[in-house]
Amino acid sequence: MASSQTPLTQRLLDIYQRLLARYGPQHWWPAETPFEMIVGAILTQAVTWKNVEQAIANLKAAGVLSPEAIHALPEEELAALIRPAGYFNAKARKLKAFVAVLMERHGGDLDAFFSQDLASLRAELLAIHGIGPETADAILLYAAHKPIFMIDAYTVRLFTRLGLAREGIRYPEIQRLFMEHLPPDVPLFQEYHALSWPMPRRSAASVNPAARSALCWRSAPSARSGSARRESGQPAFPTSFGYNESAWGPARGGKGGAMDKQRAREAFFISKETFEPAYLALHR
């Protein structure tokens, strides 16, 4: 990153400060050891964190939450223990693949494994069965404490809506947005990533159903005045804000039809709790 701050650097840091002021420190990633973090990063693929917690609790109760124990455990027994995390057979193979590399190449020593430079460690992680860029970067950032910005679907969604990333942007491209315009600071990268998705971690029961319904609005920002949207509980974002409502897709059942659950969740996430503080960061 250049020695002087660019306008984009200032904007990214401003968004970060606003999100931090709004939500506070997230204390993420929840794990007692680096190895537990790695296990969680693999288990959380395509499943909620609540399910991951149940699977990790099973591993702890069985006394097998260690590289040596998982390496020795038959795959079918491991799969049974992590069943709450879903795709348990596939994830058992992924865990076994990781610990095989750790045990056979690094003597089971995570410190030795993590002592590699960032590029070499990332390449080795990506060569392991079942570990893609997002999982690899989660391990690098939260377990190895390497300065790499982790990207997930929530990060892409938020910064696309903010107009800082284009629709359909690829993982390396949006990662460069952060890596080239933020200081290479591990705590900053950890907190920024965690702050980009606080709302999905909230319990659905804590959300007022009436408010959630009001937020799943279909009209374009220019179709109604800001005051009318505020009165109805809808965010009064200007058309210059750069978000793309069309990405939500058409309502099911034609005009007035209900959005499917996934799009409703996305609409709620973008429209109010996360979109608003990020909006304020860009428009004082």
What are the tens digits of pLDDT across the range 58-88? 999 999 999 999 999 999 999 999 999 999 9
Name residues whose C-beta falls within 8 Å of residue 117's C-beta, 6 or more positions apart in sequence: none
**DSSP-assigned states of every residue in 99-131:** HHHHHHHHTT-HHHHHTS-HHHHHHHHHTSTT-
Within 10 angstroms of residue 267's Cβ, the number of other Cβ atoms is 19
Q: What one-character DSSP code corresponds to residue 169?
A: -
| Ranges in the chain, pLDDT < 70 | 1-4, 198-284
Joined tokens for residue 262: 């996934």
d(CA 181, CA 226): 33
Give the max Cα distance, the chain.
Answer: 64
User: How open is the CA angle 173-192-186, to the nearest 5 degrees?
Assistant: 90
Report helix, strand or coil for 48: coil
Q: Which two tokens stand for residue 204?
A: 């659905």
pLDDT of residue 245: 26
In this structure, which amino acid lies at residue 120? S
pLDDT reported for residue 149: 98
Helix, strand, or coil (residue 144): coil
Distance CA(184)–CA(187), nearest Å, equals 9
Alpha helices in 199-255 (DSSP H): 209-215, 226-231
Distance, in Å, from the CA atom of 121 to the CA atom of 117, rounded to the nearest integer, reads 6
Extract the tokens encoding 119.
């590029």
Q: Closest Cα to residue 38, out of 158, 108, 136, 130? A: 136
Half-sphere exposure of 254 (CA within 13 A, CB side): 0
